Structure 1
Amino acid sequence: MADTSKLHPATTVTNIKSCIPIVLDYEGSQYNNWATLFKLHCRANLVIDHILPPASPTVPPLATTAENLATKALWERLDDIVRQWIYGTISNDLLNTIIHQEDTAAEA
């Protein structure tokens, strides 16, 4: 069974703007800096596969075992955290353009 008693590093981030102080907007003049900081942050917090999926996906298959359900729930929670980071570091105009309830972090 998946060990859910350990805290994942991504769940401890309380202020994304202190880690990524750049606000990405439509002009995109800061895109390279923003993207670099965002990727570094995701690697450091072990969620880079949520924005740059590896060759073999880490999304657990649909399964009914308790372990697979727990793994899928954790993946979905981490994906939502990464989406919050994206949404928290972009302008409101850009946010209104990309936000969609069913998107994944990679899609955002």
Structure 2
Amino acid sequence: MPNNATSKSSFHPALAVNSIRNHITVILGMDNDQYSLWVALFTNHAKSNRVLHHIIKSKGAARKPPSTDDDDKELWETLDATVLQWINSTVSNDLLETIVKTDTTAMATWDRLADIFQDNKNSRAVTLEQEFSHIDMIDFPSGLLSTPQIVG
């Protein structure tokens, strides 16, 4: 029997991840501002486990599982479910309730998260600017408002 390193029976590294929380320590929540950090950790982990194409579409890549070979399709679906579990395991319960859908893919969930955290950047900036403009300077010690002295 020939020894083929690319045999369909070879084990994929993503399936060996026992606990995603050991690799992605940030729990993404609606009330925290760690989306960029979470994305960086998650994409690095996905890249190192050769499943980045399940969350980020590369040029010429399909969003759907391969339709020709049943073994390839089954592996694709298994890996996609694994990546989806990783996403679900690294978000807060409140956020999980917002993004979970039946019969979805890891990429669709990834895109839903991007929509939640990136589409509202402008409105969040406006809100923060309004909050900042309503801060009373009376709340700060007078030393912060005085002109700095140059010591020479």
TM-score strictly above 0.5: yes
1:3-82 equivalences under 5 Å are 3-58=7-62, 59-63=64-68, 68-82=69-83
Instruction: Give the TM-score normalised by the residue count of structure 1.
Output: 0.89
Deviations 1:23-72 (A, max 9, x none): 00002401111000000000000000000011122544433xxxx11101
CA RMSD of aligned residues (A): 1.4
Provide the residue aligned with 1:90 in structure 2: 91
Structure 1 gap ranges (5+)? none
The percentage of counterpart residues that share the same residue type is 39
Distance 1:81 1:61 in 2: 17
| Bigger radius of gyration among the two | 2
Would you say 1:107 and 2:108 are equivalent positions? Answer: yes
TM-score using structure 2 length: 0.64
CA distance in 1, matches of 2:101, 2:14: 22
Partners in 1 of 2:65 and 2:88 — Cα distance?
25
**Structure 2: 5+ residue stretches without partners:** 1-5, 110-152
2:9 match: secondary structure = coil
Equivalent residue letter for 1:77 = T
Runs of 4+ with >6 A deviation: none
- Which structure has more relative contact order (CA 8 Å, sep 6+)? It is 1
- What SS does the corresponding residue of 2:107 show, helix, strand or coil? coil
Contact 2:28 2:90 in 1 (8 A): yes
Give the aligned length: 103
